[in-house]
């Protein structure tokens, strides 16, 4: 009888029983974050390959374009991997996960402001609207949404988890888009001009 009363009280107060049901919602996202985490880790490795290949060109003496255009892609991939790791951990309560997600979002927003300054300061390339969208606006929206999801997560996990999932997908897609833009610009524009200048 005492056990029944205790269980009822915990349920009424939204205690461990409700919390256990909320935490179990993370299990439904397990495969999703395995895919996202694997993709982010693989793409981060590919970025290292790209930067290594760039070392043989004139870009090896120009760190500003790399810091402004290539490094953010690695950061987005790593933060997507971090979010996947946070939500794959065996939490006993979503409060701890929410705090880490919120800190990740705030860190991402701060880093995006740094990227904005770097884009304005570098002189090797004049950014167009697509660059501002890919390097500043979309990442800022993603990290702000992650902060909102972190705030909502403990009390309303369903929409928070969908928002967080959308954020990780957006970060991976933004990173892919930016990395592809960097490579195509190097191959079709910058390197041919650099090689031509050397020949002359």
Q: What is the pLDDT of residues 38-68, one digit of tens each?
A: 888 888 887 777 777 666 555 554 555 565 6
User: Which range among 13-27, 141-155, 186-200 has the greatest average pLDDT?
Assistant: 141-155
Read off the pLDDT of each residue in 17-28 and give the average, rounded to a whole number.
65
pTM for this one? 0.77
**How many other C-beta atoms can be found within 10 angstroms of the C-beta atom of residue 71?**
18
The DSSP code sequence of 95-147 is HHHHHHHHHHHHHHHHHHHHHHHHHHH--S----HHHHIIIIIHHHHHHHHHH
Round the average pLDDT of the chain to a whole number and report it: 79
Q: What is the pLDDT of residue 65?
A: 59
Q: Which of 21-25, 115-119, 141-145 shows the lowest mean pLDDT across its residues? A: 21-25
Structure tokens at 112: 């995006």
Read off the pLDDT of each residue in 20-33 and give the average, rounded to a whole number.
76
At residue 111 the predicted structure's pLDDT band, cuts being 50, 70 and 90, is very high
Q: Are the CB atoms for 23 and 93 separated by under 8 Å? A: yes
Q: What is the pLDDT of residues 140-182, one digit of tens each?
A: 999 999 999 999 998 888 899 999 999 999 999 998 888 888 7
Q: What is the pLDDT of residue 179?
A: 82
């Amino acid at each position: 009888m005492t056990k029944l009363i205790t269980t009822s009280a915990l349920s009424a107060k939204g205690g461990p029983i409700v919390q256990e049901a909320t935490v179990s919602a993370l299990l439904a996202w397990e495969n999703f974050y395995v895919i996202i985490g694997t993709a982010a880790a693989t793409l981060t490795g590919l970025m290292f390959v790209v930067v290594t290949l760039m070392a043989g060109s004139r870009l090896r003496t120009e760190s500003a374009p790399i810091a402004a255009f290539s490094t953010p892609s690695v950061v987005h991939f790593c933060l997507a991997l971090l979010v996947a790791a946070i939500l794959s951990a065996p939490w006993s309560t979503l409060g701890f996960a929410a705090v880490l997600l919120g800190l990740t979002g705030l860190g991402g927003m701060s880093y995006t402001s740094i990227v904005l300054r770097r884009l304005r300061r570098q002189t090797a390339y004049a950014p167009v609207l697509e660059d501002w969208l890919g390097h500043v606006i979309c990442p800022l929206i993603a990290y702000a949404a992650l902060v909102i999801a972190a705030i909502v997560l403990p009390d309303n996990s369903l929409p928070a988890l969908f928002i967080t999932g959308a954020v990780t997908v957006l970060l991976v897609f933004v990173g892919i888009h930016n990395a592809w833009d960097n490579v195509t610009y190097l191959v079709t524009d910058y390197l041919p001009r650099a090689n031509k200048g050397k020949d002359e």
